[in-house]
Amino acid sequence: MARKKIQQNRSELILEAASALFAQFGYQKTTLEDIALRAGIGKGSVYLEFESKEAILFALILENKQTELEHMRRVVSRSDKSPLALLKIMLVQNVGEVFASVRQNRRSPEEMAASGERVRLLLAPFFQARLSLVETLLQRAQAAGEMNPAIDASHSAQLILLALRGVLPPYEASATRVKLQHQAAELLELLFSGLRVHASGGSL
């Protein structure tokens, strides 16, 4: 039991050290020696937990995505606002979290391209879970009479996430978290105008 706790603590130390170094110096300039020194352990101990620097990065990415998913589920569980309002809150919040995560664990475009397929496979369950949460809120909007019941909620969920790719990486040099979240909110309002049921009894 004690050995398992030591291993867990060591893994956490490595991830915390790597996250801080990637944020300060960038992924490319950070070495495993740097991470070990920051974590206060030997380089060999790093290899006992992770096979490479890229494996550490992937663990950080997955950790970030799991946190994002938890935040999204919390929004979905709320009942203080309409389903479409909650969907907007959830997705705008997520756009900001993605931006912060990318900026924190930055890599060069060449490095990301080289491991693109591996990253996509790693994050496939997250993307599927996010799609499911969006679809759930759209179905709730239909049940609440907020959204046109004739619209395919599943297809609409896919289109909404597709439209949001414009405020997800890769980013322009002038991108900021506030700017991207504002753009996401405006885009979602535009999309929702085609989903809502209006006073006349139909949708736009």
Tell whether the model's pLDDT for residue 121 goes beyond 90. Answer: no
End-to-end CA distance of the chain: 61
pLDDT at 95 over 90: yes
Q: Assess whether the region 1-50 and the region 57-204 belong to the same CATH fold.
A: no
For the residues of 68-134, what is the DSSP string, one character each?
HHHHHHHHHT--SS-HHHHHHHHHHHHHHHHHHHHHHT---HHHHHHTHHHHHHHHHHHHHHHHHHH
If you search the block for the tokens 């960038």, which residue do you land on? 26
- pTM for the full predicted model: 0.85
Helix pair angle (53-76, 2-25), 10° resolution: 90
pLDDT score recorded for residue 134: 98
CATH 3.30.9.10 fits 1-50, yes or no: no
Domain boundary assignment for the chain:
1-50, 57-204
CATH 2.102.10.10 is held by the domain 57-204: no
For residue range 40-89, list pLDDT tens digits in order: 999 999 999 999 999 999 999 899 999 999 999 999 999 999 999 999 99
